[in-house]
Structure 1
Amino acid sequence: MTLAFLHPQRRRRYTPSVPPSWQTSQSVAADLHRRLHRALGHTRRMLDEARRCGVATGRYELLCDELDDTAEAVDDQLVRAAELPVGVRHRVLLQLRYQIADVERTASRVGRTALEAASPVLPSVERSLRAINERLDVTVEARAEARQLGT
């Protein structure tokens, strides 16, 4: 409760239609629900780390909020799918599994991008290293040509 008070934008949102039993249930739908929210939680932790490194994470937080909205919609679909007959349920849950994988990839990308913004590698260092490596490549090529001409 205190955490939600201190950081209201990071308050964990639960879909009201998701049964509380899904926190421990071994059903496919419950497992997909937990998988979805683990990915979002991991992304939020990555943003916290980026923030501690001095990155302004406001835009990334907005992206996470959009992902939360998407997760809520997926949760609603999972709840409805869990009530379908077995054959249809399997097919619908398979489609939802692919959507959840897409959410996971996007969430991971948001977190990675925020952490990369905290990277201490400066563009000038990258340019310098690229120039050194290009000169080394030219030297290696020249030596290879000299060897070919000498034989």
Structure 2
Amino acid sequence: SFAPINPSASLYVGDLLPTTTEVMLYEKFSQVGQVISVRVCRHRITRRSLGFGFVCFSSPEEASRAMTGMNGHVLGTQALYVVLARSRPDARPQREPFVQPRHEAYMQPQRETQVHPQQGTGGCAPTIGGSHSSASPGKSIPGFWRGGFDR
């Protein structure tokens, strides 16, 4: 999971285009300081960008300099919104989803199942400077319908 060395050295970067990648953010922000990690937050199932991400710097001073220098800068065709990242007061530890054992799933009467994304990380998965394990989009889970979801 994404765990910055110093939380006060992390920036929230908003107004990202759907095509913005971690590499693009890394290249842009490494111009103003030493970047420790980068992530673009994505929908847990579709893996589409949610339009925001996080950049962690080696020091709060570098993060502050990057925030001042990069807020309003254009990446692609979109002006970036850059502020210090902060913890959500309602953030809870991420829990594993409940999955019935296979034999119980087939013994239950058939009914519609509504799947909700987990609370916590909001589907954020770092690809530079961190590791994250999650179910791959093509993985089947017994008892759940696999299909397209819009956020």
- TM-score using structure 1 length: 0.26
Higher helix share: 1
User: Which one has the largest radius of gyration?
Assistant: 1
Higher strand share: 2
